[in-house]
């Protein structure tokens, strides 16, 4: 017993050290890359990126121009920092014009928990002499990194029964070196969301349904995809029901019908559903309008998805714009890997695999296929599949080299405000 506890403590200590050193290396790498070279501008990865990636494209965006932690803020970071500093209606946040001529801050398209947590963490950081934007930027990185740590511990807990201690750590390592994993150390929601989502899945595995539902509720307030955690919660509840008693086939049982049905676990679903309804009541109308009318996103947006696929396939056939062809190849790689991973983990991890499938389907069908390589960070099935394959030393070394080189390239692009995902 003592030996087992010591092994667990040692593993946890190693996991935390890996996470900490990874974070320092990623942040240092971005500074080194910025000091060593400059990319050609603009970026032709997508049809619209050439207009957003000139050297002066961010000059009017106050929340992206603070020198402190500037390498960690780009694109959507503007809205998270803006909400954390001045709320959804801060006049410095970029606005968008809707179909009826109404102008709304684009911040309403983003969920509140991450920037709210940033604001809480940033408050004491101001005592260090940081201005509000600098404090919020640092807070965003810290929140993302701490969320990532929770996600790593949860992923290890989910996989160690099948893969053992070494395999669980391998899954954690593959998560940290995934090509888009640098987003965990940026002012983006990925780190916090992964921590909450993977934590929820680990708690479901332990049959701690109210704690899992609480994590699911927080994940729902971080990204819309958090609501998909309702499905693994339902699968987890179903696995605890004594169906013989419920069907009246076990007359000798001392359980009541409600005990056999585990109604307490079923009632835990109220937490993520309530979280979504609360968001929808306070922010949903403006969020849906901006997503649909400005960003062109929506649930199962098949028209937008079809147009995007057409552009992607044309880029593969033509190949004249190498940036676009390469970008779409990376996106397609992420989607294919996710599909394969879901198929090969479904039997052993049904709830986890279902969540993974929902994350993939809801992400790629909401609009034209883009940002897939970032969205799949929240698919735990990928890391489980890679960890299984990583038992083979040749795959392990080859994937490590490939993934790290890809992450270095994508992290460099992000550092220079070029389009990644």
Please give the average pLDDT of every successive group of 10 residues along the chain, which has 421 residues.
Answer: 69 95 98 96 95 93 97 98 98 96 97 98 95 98 98 98 96 98 98 98 98 98 98 96 76 69 93 98 97 93 92 93 96 98 97 98 92 98 98 98 98 98 95
Count of helix runs (H) and strand runs (E) in the chain: 18, 2
| Residue 317: both structure tokens together | 């056939």
Instruction: Write down the pLDDT at residue 20.
Output: 98
Provide the terminal-to-terminal Cα distance of the chain, rounded to the nearest Å. 46
Phi-psi label, residue 207: left if phi above 0, alpha if psi -120 to 50, beta otherwise: left
- Name every residue whose Cβ is closer than 8 Å to that of residue 29 and which is 6 or more positions away in sequence: 408, 411
Contact in structure between 328 and 316 (CB atoms under 8 Å): yes
The pLDDT score that the predictor gives to residue 253 is 62
pTM assigned to the model: 0.96
Write down the pLDDT at residue 34. Answer: 97
Q: Report the DSSP beta bridge partners of residue 96.
A: 104
């Amino acid at each position: 017993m003592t030996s087992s506890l010591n092994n667990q403590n040692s593993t946890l200590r190693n996991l935390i050290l890996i996470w900490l050193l990874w974070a320092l290396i990623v942040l240092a790498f971005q500074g080194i890359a910025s000091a060593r070279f400059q990319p050609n501008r603009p970026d032709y990865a997508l049809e619209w990126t050439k207009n957003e990636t000139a050297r002066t494209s961010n000059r009017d965006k106050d929340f992206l121009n603070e020198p402190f932690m500037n390498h960690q803020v780009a694109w959507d970071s503007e809205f998270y920092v803006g909400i954390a500093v001045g709320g959804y209606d801060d006049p410095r946040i970029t606005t968008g014009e809707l179909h009826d001529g109404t102008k709304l801050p684009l911040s309403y398209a983003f969920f509140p928990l991450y920037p709210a947590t940033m604001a809480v963490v940033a408050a004491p950081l101001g005592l260090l002499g940081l201005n509000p934007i600098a404090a919020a930027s640092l807070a965003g990185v810290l929140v993302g990194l701490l969320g990532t740590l929770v996600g790593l511990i949860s992923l290890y807990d989910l996989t160690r029964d099948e893969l053992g201690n070494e395999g669980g750590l391998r899954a954690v390592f593959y998560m940290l070196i995934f090509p888009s994993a640098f987003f965990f150390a940026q002012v983006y929601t990925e780190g916090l969301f992964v921590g909450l989502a993977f934590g929820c899945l680990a708690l479901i595995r332990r049959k701690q349904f109210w704690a899992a539902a609480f994590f699911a509720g927080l994940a729902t307030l971080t990204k819309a995809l958090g609501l998909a955690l309702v499905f693994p919660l339902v699968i987890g509840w179903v696995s605890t029901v004594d169906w013989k008693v419920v069907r009246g086939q076990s007359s000798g049982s001392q359980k009541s019908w409600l005990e056999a049905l585990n109604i307490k676990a079923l009632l835990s679903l109220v937490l993520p559903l309530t979280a979504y309804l609360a968001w929808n009541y306070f922010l949903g109308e403006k969020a849906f309008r901006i997503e649909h009318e400005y960003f062109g996103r929506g649930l199962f947006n098949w028209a937008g998805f079809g147009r995007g696929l057409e552009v992607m396939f044309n880029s593969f056939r033509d190949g004249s714009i190498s940036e676009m062809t390469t970008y779409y190849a990376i996106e397609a790689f992420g989607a294919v890997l996710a599909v394969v991973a879901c198929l090969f983990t479904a039997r052993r991890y049904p709830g986890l695999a279902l969540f993974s499938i929902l994350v993939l389907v809801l992400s790629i069908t909401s609009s034209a296929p883009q940002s897939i390589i970032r969205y799949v960070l929240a698919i735990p099935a990928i890391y489980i599949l890679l960890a299984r394959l990583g038992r083979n030393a040749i795959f392990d070394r080859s994937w490590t080299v490939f993934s790290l080189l890809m992450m270095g390239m994508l992290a460099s692009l992000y550092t220079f405000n070029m389009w990644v995902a």
